[in-house]
Structures are given as structure tokens and as C-alpha cells.
Chains A and B, each alone.
Chain A
């Protein structure tokens, strides 16, 4: 055992806290190492010296001082308004302000995360379709207000969705199939938009875009139900990003 390791255990050894084997090893080392033995002797004398320090007697005035402070606090307390005394009593049972604030923030963050993760598919869809309308499909292409009937058949093509797109948001909240069709349409339009602007991309960007789109299509094709909806939404989000970034660049915005 090295001197360094023995010295790290000296306090425990001198206080009798090392078990038999570890104690024997340290004791054996101390018999052969003069430097460690000197250190151990110093520490033993120091420890004994600390243990035998004379007790310090409190001054006689201590108790009088405590009583005086208690009395002063009682007087001050009696002069406070009743509502503050009640508040002080109540505060004893609530956590410290820092703890309470931290707890409230953590709880708020947890609620926000849970809400964000579990918010209705329709709400997410509404937001994405609204963006799609605003950015990709010019507003004039939409027909004037003409709400779809609740049980109207799902649109089967982009043209159908576009014709009725003024109330797609409402339809999305009612019908999953409509949402799927609207997403398919959005993806098609976004891909068309991307094809229009990809000429300005670098070869690397084009290649990365194609690979990503291919991978996302495969995921969507294999998935079903909610995973499919999530994958579709992810693809719309990705395409939105690609098209928007490009538009921003083209508009010369830094």
C-alpha cells in the first residue's frame, strides 16, 4: 500500500473505524514507514488535543440576554396587526418562498409539457394547415366562407381539398380522414414548392433533402394510426422548414 493511500485512511484508522483487515494493512505500513508514522503521531496528538480542549463556560449574562430578546420579540409581535400575526402563523406551515416558487415553476413546466405532448391532433393540424394556407397556397385560391357538412365524404385529392379548404380546419376537428387527405395535399404542395426552389440549394443540401424525404415517406408508409399521424405531421413540419428557409434566403433576409 502506498503512503498516499495510507494517509488517506489515517483519520479512520486512528478513530478505530477501519475493519480488521484494512486496519492491519495500515498498521503494518506504519511499522515500516517512518514518514507515515510521524504523520500518524501528529494526527493522534492533534486529535487528543482537540478532545481535551477545556470546556467553555457560558457567561451568566447569556440567559438574561435570551430572556430579553424573547421579551422584545413578544412586544414587537403584539404591536403587529392581527392579519400579520395570522399570516406569520400560517407561514410556519408552508414551505420557504424559494421552495414554493421553485415547486410552482416545476409544476407549471410539467403541466405545459403534458399539455403540449397530449394536445389534440386536430389542434396541431389546424396550426399546420393554417400555416400551409398562409405560406404555400395563396389566400385567393380559397373559396369564400362555405363550411363543410360534418359527415361529408373525405376529399380524395388535392383539388377537392383546395376547393373546400376554407373550412379544412373545422373539418380536421371532425374527421381524421379529412386531416389525412389535407396533410397529403399539403405534402404534395410543399414538395412542389421545394422542387421550385431547390435549384438554389447546394448539391449537398439537395442530397440531404432527398434522403430525408425518402426516409420519412418510408416511415409513413409503414406506420398506422397515431404513429402515422405523427410521422406525417413531422414530414409537413420538415418541409415547411425547408421551404421557409429557402424563402427567407431568397427574400434576402439575413
Chain B
């Protein structure tokens, strides 16, 4: 049991941290592990163990947000641009600004960004965790990134990139 905990603690806590925020992450992560240990005996193996644990994490996080009602879901009109940092701080500031923008995203978008971009899971894994189709997953990721771009404001590349991306 403890081995399982140590194997998944970073990812479970990391996901919960970025979806519900720092203050409630521990509570949610505890809830997830309690559910995992209680449900392990009845785990039917329909999906990979990791997928099941991450699904529990995302569901517990979203349920926690709903119960708490702390975050008001932000619509398109409610998006606010974050102020640009001074040039000297650009490298260290990008992560902080991304975290701040993540915090303003609707919970569903936050979940897909955390799973795919932050945790590096594939679309297939994300769709299994979120229990949706791969196409829906891709579409949600596209919308989530677009919203993040809105939040961060145009010209992110100019302000933060060390050089031109090799992807283009």
C-alpha cells in the first residue's frame, strides 16, 4: 500500500495542486488515496491502474471545486489580461504567469491542460481519464490553450521566449 502511495504521490498531488489550488491540494490528495486503497480490492482492471488513479484524482478535484464553489467559472468575457513582467524577470516569471493564468481557467480546461501539457499524458490516456472521446479531448485542449493565450495576452513569444520555437 505504501509502495503504491510513493509511486503515485507526486502526480496525484501535482494534479490536485494545479486543479484545486495549493490550499486544498493536500485534502484532495488524501481523499484520492483513501478512495484508491478502499477501492483497490474491487478494481476490475478495465483500465490501467494509473488511469484509474488519475481519474479518481481529476474527479475528486472537480467535485471538490464544485462543493467549495471557490472558483467562479470564468467565461470569455471574464478573462483578464495579466500584466507583463519586466524584461529582466522574463525567464523566472513565465512559470509564475502560467500558473496564475491556469488558476483563472475554468476547471475543465485546467484539467485537460494539466493532464496533457503539464503531466505529459497522451490524448488516449487523457480521454480514458476524462471518460470522453479522443476528438473531444483534442478539441478541449485547443480551446484551453486558446483561453490561456487570451489570459496571457498576445506576444507571449516576444516577451518570454529565449528564441524562435523550432516547431514552426
Q: Which residues of A contact B (CB under 8 A)?
A: 8, 10-12, 14, 17, 27, 30, 37-59, 61-63, 65-66, 69-70, 73, 92
Q: From the candidates B9, B31, B99, B157, name the one contacting A44 in the complex (CB within 8 A).
A: B157
Residues of B within 8 A of A14 (CB): 167
Q: Which of B1-47 contact A (CB under 8 A)?
A: 2, 5, 9-10, 12-14, 17-18, 25-26, 29-31, 33-34, 37-38, 42
Tell me whether A62 and B26 are in contact in the complex, defined as CB-CB below 8 angstroms, given that A47-B145, A53-B95, A54-B95 are known contacts.
Answer: yes
Q: What is the distance, in angstroms, from B56's C-beta to the closest C-beta of chain A?
A: 13
Tell me whether A70 and B152 are in contact in the complex, defined as CB-CB below 8 angstroms, given that A38-B157, A41-B168, A49-B95 are known contacts.
Answer: no
Q: Which residues of B contact A (CB under 8 A)?
A: 2, 5, 9-10, 12-14, 17-18, 25-26, 29-31, 33-34, 37-38, 42, 94-95, 98-99, 113, 117-118, 120, 123, 138, 141-142, 145, 148-149, 152, 154-157, 160-161, 164-165, 167-168
Q: From the candidates B13, B29, B123, B149, name the one contacting A42 in the complex (CB within 8 A).
A: B149
Residues of A within 8 A of B14 (CB): 55-56, 58
Q: From the candidates A10, A43, A63, name the one contacting B5 in the complex (CB within 8 A).
A: A63
> How would you classify the secondary structure of chain B's contact residues: helix, strand, loop or mixed?
helix
Residues of B within 8 A of A61 (CB): 26
For the complex of A and B, 4 pairs with smallest distance between CB atoms: A41-B157, A58-B13, A50-B117, A44-B165
Q: From the candidates B13, B29, B30, B165, name the one contacting A45 in the complex (CB within 8 A).
A: B165
Residues of A within 8 A of B10 (CB): 55-58
A46 with B98: CB separation less than 8 A: yes
Residues of B within 8 A of A63 (CB): 2, 5, 9
Tell me whether A53 and B98 are in contact in the complex, defined as CB-CB below 8 angstroms, given that A11-B145, A70-B37 are known contacts.
Answer: yes
A45 with B34: CB separation less than 8 A: no
B17 with A56: CB separation less than 8 A: yes
Tell me whether A53 and B149 are in contact in the complex, defined as CB-CB below 8 angstroms, given that A30-B168, A66-B33 are known contacts.
Answer: no
* Residue from the set A27, A46, A51 with the largest chain B CB neighbour count within 10 Å: A46
How far does the alpha carbon of A66 sit from the alpha carbon of B167 in the complex, in Å? 43
